[in-house]
Structure 1
Amino acid sequence: MSERIIAATDGTSDRGAKLVERLQAALGAEHSAIFAYARFGVLLDKAGQAQARTGEEAHRTRRDALLVQLADLKATAPVAQAGYALPFPVATRADALKLAAYIEDGVAATWRAALADAEGEVRRQILLAYTDAAVRGTRWRKLAAVTPATVSYPGRKTQ
């Protein structure tokens, strides 16, 4: 997971510019995921908190890789906001688990969108990020006893 997403473009072609936009969106999703993990993690039991720490660290690692990648492309990296509006109130363990799955689905959606404009090694790295978020979302749904825990085509807008 420590591997950077290596761009095969300088960002000047239409496809390269679109990929840069997708990577910027992915960075925004990673920023919001880090914020959300800090908010819901405290509502979980010890095992859930350990899973939340692992998830937050994964998002921090992806964020850091994207910051380097966008700098290499001489593209503007969106700055993390001081706070993010949560999609619903989070006051209980059940709320926390619901938010965890929701956040991972959103992150998966941004990475899924980036697949369309990537190829080669870049596409492989994006696919790894997409799969990572999708698997983490499934783990949160399993912990919440949501059935089905898996979703077909994670990150698809029809979810």
Structure 2
Amino acid sequence: MTRPPSSPLTGQGAVLRPVSGGGREPLTALQAALAAEHAAVYGYGVVGARVDDGRRAEAREAFAAHRARRDTLIRAVRDLAAAPVAAAPGYALPFPVPDAASAVRLAAHLEDRVAGACADLVRAARGPLRTEAAAALREAAVRSARWRGGGVAFPGLAERSAATGPPAGE
């Protein structure tokens, strides 16, 4: 199955990467955000399996939040009379995740990627969809900061946050 060029999924399996560029059509940005949520749901399965007991509840909450957001985005795509992008059967992780420390890095990485896709959706959308995308961006940025232990200056905007250093795991 091939992915559209605007998708945040690339490579063998799929790896989350920043979705760049404003000026997207709302449906294209919506599909990219949905693809990022699919990948985050998968990634949190790995995080939950590797993270320490003290952070397992946080991983479960994030997993549930991404599943709920994914379902909301599926409905939004269908409301635009389009077929939602399907989840891949598997995803290649951006780096090895053999232990709890790398699981925490992966969680921050997942949130950074979702924030990037949501930032693109904020730029492309109007009305309630834009409001929902802004809320999703905020939630991803907060979760990323919690996993990382600190925030970035411009969450979701790779071109602005580069001055603060690379996202976790890169």
What does residue range 94-113 of structure 1 map to in structure 2 within 5 Å?
Answer: 94-113=101-120
What does residue range 105-124 of structure 1 map to in structure 2 within 5 Å?
Answer: 105-124=112-131
Deviation of 1:120 after TM superposition, in Å, equals 2.5
Q: State the AA in 1 paired with 2:31.
A: Q
Deviation of 1:47 after TM superposition, in Å, equals 2.5
Task: Single out whichever of 38-47 and 77-86 deviates more from structure 2.
Answer: 38-47
Work out the number of aligned pairs and report it: 138
**Paired position in structure 2 for 1:73:** 80
Question: TM-score scaled by structure 2?
Answer: 0.78
Deviations 1:13-59 (A, max 9, x none): xx8x8001001000000000000000121111222110000000000
Task: Single out whichever of 113-122 and 46-55 deviates more from structure 2.
Answer: 113-122
Matched residues in 1 for 2:66 and 2:110: separation?
11
Matched residues in 1 for 2:125 and 2:30: separation?
10
| 1:62 partnered with 2:62 | no
Deviation of 1:122 after TM superposition, in Å, equals 2.0
Unmatched tracts of structure 2, length 5 or more = 1-22, 163-170
| 1:43 partnered with 2:50 | yes
Matched residues in 2 for 1:94 and 1:130: separation?
24
**Paired position in structure 2 for 1:30:** 37
Q: State the AA in 1 paired with 2:155.
A: P
Unmatched tracts of structure 1, length 5 or more = 1-14, 143-148
Matched residues in 2 for 1:46 and 1:106: separation?
25
**Paired position in structure 2 for 1:141:** 148
Tell me, what secondary structure is at the counterpart of 1:155?
coil
Task: Single out whichever of 105-114 and 71-80 deviates more from structure 2.
Answer: 71-80
Task: Single out whichever of 113-122 and 74-83 deviates more from structure 2.
Answer: 113-122
Matched residues in 2 for 1:42 and 1:19: separation?
35
Larger radius of gyration between Structure 1 and Structure 2: 1
Deviations 1:89-148 (A, max 9, x none): 000111001110011000000000111122232221110000000100001012xxxxxx
Q: CA RMSD in A?
A: 1.3
Aligned pair partner of 1:92 in 77, 86, 99: 99
Matched residues in 1 for 2:126 and 2:81: separation?
20
Identity value in percent: 41
**Paired position in structure 2 for 1:154:** 155
Matched residues in 2 for 1:153 and 1:123: separation?
18
